[in-house]
Structure 1
């Protein structure tokens, strides 16, 4: 399997898609960092450098959704996958070599982004406010969720022989999971009550030009929030948000990770289940 990994890594170093998505993420990171710096100067709002740094874990899912199907799918379209099998390579080794390659690609994207954006961020936004130990734990959570993205997209790409179809499926899945994770995390932050203005109809009379309605506006405290998730449902919703890689990434960018070890356990479970299922099916897959 080492020869397979070595060959894949040589391809990775020369792969244009990998460098394009890495550069695109860095450009997006520069734009986000510049916007935060401008907002800090104009409005005096507090901007946390950690949020900018950890933003890579929201973006790496899309990057791997583009990279994995194009990188692995090329072996199907070029016939390389069948040639490897004809040369005596084991299917299990081929599968794990591709997962390891996608995982390395994701980690490299994380490291490059973290190094460059943090260096620029220190110059623009100042120092960190989060303890270094806590930040390192959060980065470990992000690295594991990156590996879970790699496992999911390797599973899809290794089982779908069409490069175009697997690319569409991976990108759509990444977008759907990111939207779902963001919505779940936002729902969990909804307060049970809110204060605001409400209006009551005090007069509803008919005038020459039609009906005239007069309203009485008043400030009311503790208005029930219909978007608030009841206490009996919150553990289930929180568990779903914690399991989804995009939900974990959203919590990291908000700097709200109360139980990092549980998130790491969920990511490890996704990696094991996705790879186990992928190997099981790929070993029985007809590649003729």
Structure 2
């Protein structure tokens, strides 16, 4: 007869379960028992609320010395107000004078809730100093796992798209409007994009590309401030302007992640790639 395992889930199983919850958008713990929120709850006794902090500390120290079981308490850090988070992002981005400094500022930033559920901060990819900068809205699942930009099946298609016009990743610099994965591979919310936009704009300024390509609907909406579908805004050269006055020609095209789901749309991406190749040839000595 097979014995039932009574030891409970392993650490690895618990970590996988918590990761599943995080990727599903759950960012706070639930109680084991349902809570009846329609039943009035008596406030705690005044004496308990005003207990002497010194007595609490002494009791804790006594328990520790006597081998008492100190139960950890699960608490959430207070959320940064949206306006304050935006101001912090603007200040941190403005203070970065190099890409390395900006990367450090992004990794230290705690004002975007996506960081709580992401495995990795994916700041950049490709080659710094490249003439061409390509920006997606947010990392995908494989990017978040690997800590690298545009990887997995999406990355394989991206490499083939570049090869079709004679380029490799070494010929372009990669960035994201938001450097943390959105659960479910969704698009960043307008608030998330607004908070992170100062970092993305400063990254463009420091990278100083000749041309910018926006990959997908999310990136196009964030940087072109257009609400139309990507099929309506793609394939048109415009001017990208940052709040500090940097300008560069920009074009939007279809995201590799989208093309994997809609392969019939590859003809539009191919037309856009040819325009990018021709523009690179016009502005320099070739691709």
Structure of greater relative contact order (alpha carbons < 8 Å, 6+ residues apart): 1
Question: Under a length normalisation based on structure 2, what TM-score does the superposition of the two structures give?
Answer: 0.24
Question: Under a length normalisation based on structure 1, what TM-score does the superposition of the two structures give?
Answer: 0.24
